[in-house]
């Protein structure tokens, strides 16, 4: 009698596949983009540099669970382990999407076809596909097949709280495999790591409960799984409400307006992100729903989609800033990649049926070719990472960061150009403000806005337009040093005293 692979064999197989997928997907080097926002609290708590004295690091943390992960990893293992953690998230995301695709196929897949499906999924989510898409379509075109709308996506180039959304695919796979309680808890766990998934996770759990109650006639199980999910999200829900508030105060309204109109309009205003890619992704979702229309996957896609669509239309009709900050369209970051996987796997299954009808044998070298393709995709992803690492080492600010680290001392606070977003994590030193990293509590948002406006008023292109009195205000707020770009290096303020400089930056001390 033919038996499947042993447990060690399965573990070895998925370890290899997961590692190759993680390499093929690729990562950006530490610390990049949103990591400057989401790593700050954790790195400060772990004792990195003097970040514990940074103003932003002492604001209310919207993602405390992720910050605990960052702090523990940095303090107990080391920053290199962040790459391993994100690689594990990649592998789990692949397994979830693969399991959904396999569940929809009518029969058990032979080994060669399992490998072929995994190669296709790896290709669709690989850097080898994203690179040409991003260069030959539009700015965010690299994520056409896997990203949601509004510049939001399931994974992305860096480890951050939103990347845990990849586990929502695992949640769906667990439900389809008859484990509704585990599926509900997984969805709740994702929302706990990143509260912006509360709406998406709630839609999924609602869909699970509906299928259990009305299709399977298991109402007790439906109530139990929904109760487990609700209990799981209560702590983060209370924490989130404590930060954002539930009232309609003027401070809350002003802060919401700052976030929506000034800081993140590309995420929060539909008119900013509605383009051809949205129509393509909508087509993928509709096509996938048509394919699964006779299965229990349909309500799992349709309920979150309907919830997101209705709330999005309400937001557009009312122009509500607070509703915009709920990002009801974020459900697309799950629907788009799941739909891509469904359509790709069904297309592959159709091709297999054609081969079977013609009684054509699968060539003996198919498995070797599949492994070779995975390795090639992994090498392409690794090469992309190496290029990004090399580019990072050549950035003009590298010398500035090295100088700041050499002269680091307690009590220093740096006024930096608003776009110098890597400063805090690259140096371990406090910054007065930057445009990338923001708080979310209403009063703290308004403080951030005051600081960023002061910074923007100071960093003028013409030194003659610079108001030296702004430096007095910055000094009163604790600033001890100022970083100047070439455009400001001709400024003559008595309070500025040059400490260091090169062709790209100048570092000055504030003092009499």
pLDDT digits (tens, 9 = 90+) for 374-384: 999 999 999 99
483-508 mean pLDDT: 92
d(CA 234, CA 206): 16
> Distance between terminal CA atoms of the chain?
88
Q: Which is it for strands 481-484 and 414-415: parallel, antiparallel or unpaired?
A: parallel
d(CA 194, CA 64): 9
Residue 110's φ and ψ, nearest 5 degrees, are -65, 160
Q: Which is it for strands 481-484 and 496-501: parallel, antiparallel or unpaired?
A: unpaired
d(CA 38, CA 58): 13
Q: Please answer whether residues 429 and 414 qualify as being in contact, where contact means their C-beta atoms are separated by less than 8 angstroms.
A: yes
d(CA 346, CA 334): 18
How far lies 290's CA from each of 284, 294, 297, in Å? 10, 9, 11
What strands lie across the sheet with 506-510, from one edge to the other? 414-415, 481-484, 506-510, 496-501
Q: Please answer whether residues 491 and 484 qualify as being in contact, where contact means their C-beta atoms are separated by less than 8 angstroms.
A: yes
On the question of pLDDT at 299 being above 70, the answer is: yes
On the question of pLDDT at 76 being above 50, the answer is: yes
Which residue stretches of 394-511 are H helix? 397-406, 423-427, 442-458, 469-476
pLDDT digits (tens, 9 = 90+) for 38-51: 999 999 999 999 99
Q: Please answer whether residues 315 and 323 qualify as being in contact, where contact means their C-beta atoms are separated by less than 8 angstroms.
A: yes
Q: Please answer whether residues 334 and 167 qualify as being in contact, where contact means their C-beta atoms are separated by less than 8 angstroms.
A: no
Question: Per residue, what are the HEC states of 341-398?
Answer: HHHHHHHHHHHHHHHHHCCCCCCCCHHHHHHHHHHHHHHHHHHHHHHHHHHHHCCCHH
Q: Please, which pLDDT band fits residue 247 given cuts at 50, 70 and 90?
A: low
SS3 category, 428: coil
Using a cut of 0.85, tell me whether the model's pTM lies above it.
Answer: yes
d(CA 210, CA 161): 28
The closest alpha carbon to 311, from 170, 469, 200, 233, belongs to 200
On the question of pLDDT at 418 being above 90, the answer is: yes
Residues 6+ apart with CB under 8 A from 274: 149
pLDDT digits (tens, 9 = 90+) for 90-125: 999 999 999 999 999 987 778 888 999 999 999 999
Q: Please, which pLDDT band fits residue 362 given cuts at 50, 70 and 90?
A: low
d(CA 100, CA 342): 8
d(CA 143, CA 157): 11
The closest alpha carbon to 301, from 335, 348, 325, belongs to 335
201-209 mean pLDDT: 97
SS3 category, 155: coil
Q: Please answer whether residues 333 and 165 qualify as being in contact, where contact means their C-beta atoms are separated by less than 8 angstroms.
A: yes
d(CA 37, CA 285): 31
Q: Please answer whether residues 171 and 43 qualify as being in contact, where contact means their C-beta atoms are separated by less than 8 angstroms.
A: no
d(CA 74, CA 82): 8
d(CA 330, CA 150): 8
pLDDT of residue 2: 43
pLDDT digits (tens, 9 = 90+) for 126-184: 999 999 988 887 777 889 989 999 999 999 999 999 999 999 999 999 999 999 999 99
Q: Which is it for strands 496-501 and 414-415: parallel, antiparallel or unpaired?
A: unpaired
The closest alpha carbon to 171, from 228, 216, 130, 215, belongs to 228
SS3 category, 274: coil
Residues 6+ apart with CB under 8 A from 251: 442, 443, 446
More confident residue, 296 or 364: 296
């Amino acid at each position: 009698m033919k038996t499947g692979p042993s447990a060690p064999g399965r573990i070895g197989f998925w370890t290899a596949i997961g590692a190759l997928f993680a390499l093929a997907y690729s990562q950006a080097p530490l610390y990049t983009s949103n990591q400057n926002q989401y790593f700050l609290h954790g790195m400060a708590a772990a004792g990195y540099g003097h970040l514990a004295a940074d103003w932003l690091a002492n604001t209310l943390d919207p993602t405390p669970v992720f910050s605990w992960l960052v702090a523990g990893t940095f303090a107990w293992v080391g920053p290199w382990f962040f790459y391993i953690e994100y690689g594990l998230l990649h592998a789990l995301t692949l397994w979830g999407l693969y399991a959904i695709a396999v569940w929809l196929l009518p029969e058990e897949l032979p080994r060669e076809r399992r490998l072929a499906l995994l190669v296709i999924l790896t290709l669709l989510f690989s850097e080898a596909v994203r690179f040409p898409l991003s260069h030959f379509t539009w700015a965010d075109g690299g994520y056409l097949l896997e990203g949601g709308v509004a510049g939001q996506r399931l994974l992305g180039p860096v480890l951050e709280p939103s990347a845990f959304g990849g586990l929502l695919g695992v949640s769906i796979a667990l439900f389809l495999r008859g484990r509704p309680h585990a599926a509900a808890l997984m969805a709740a766990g994702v929302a706990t790591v990143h509260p912006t998934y509360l709406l998406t996770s709630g839609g999924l759990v609602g869909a699970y409960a509906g299928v259990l109650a009305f299709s399977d006639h298991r109402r007790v199980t439906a109530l139990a799984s929904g109760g487990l999910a609700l209990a799981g999200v209560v702590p983060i829900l209370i924490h989130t409400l404590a930060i954002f508030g539930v009232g309609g105060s003027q401070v809350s309204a002003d802060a919401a307006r700052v976030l929506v109109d000034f800081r993140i309009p590309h995420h929060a205003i539909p008119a900013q992100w509605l383009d051809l890619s949205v129509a393509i992704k909508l087509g993928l979702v509709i096509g996938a729903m048509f394919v699964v229309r006779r299965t229990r996957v349909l309500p799992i896609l349709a309920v979150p989609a309907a919830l997101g669509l209705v709330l999005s239309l309400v937001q557009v009709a009312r122009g509500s800033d607070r509703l915009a900050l709920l990002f009801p369209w974020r459900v697309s970051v799950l629907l788009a990649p799941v739909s891509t996987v469904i359509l790709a796997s069904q297309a592959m299954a159709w091709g297999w049926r054609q081969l079977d009808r013609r009684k054509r044998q699968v060539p003996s070298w198919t498995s070797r070719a599949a492994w070779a393709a995975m390795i090639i995709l992994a090498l392409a992803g690794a090469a992309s990472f190496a290029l990004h690492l090399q580019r990072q080492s050549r950035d003009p600010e590298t010398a500035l960061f090295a100088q700041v680290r050499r002269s680091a001392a307690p009590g220093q606070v740096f006024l930096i150009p608003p776009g110098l977003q890597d400063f805090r994590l690259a140096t371990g030193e406090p910054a007065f403000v930057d445009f990338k990293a923001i708080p979310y509590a209403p009063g703290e948002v308004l403080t951030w806005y005051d600081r960023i406006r002061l910074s923007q008023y100071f960093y003028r292109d013409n030194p003659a337009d610079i108001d030296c009195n702004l430096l007095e205000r910055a000094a009163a707020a604790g600033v001890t040093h100022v970083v100047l770009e070439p455009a400001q290096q001709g400024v003559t303020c008595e309070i500025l005293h040059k400490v260091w400089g090169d062709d790209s930056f100048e570092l000055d001390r504030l003092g009499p």
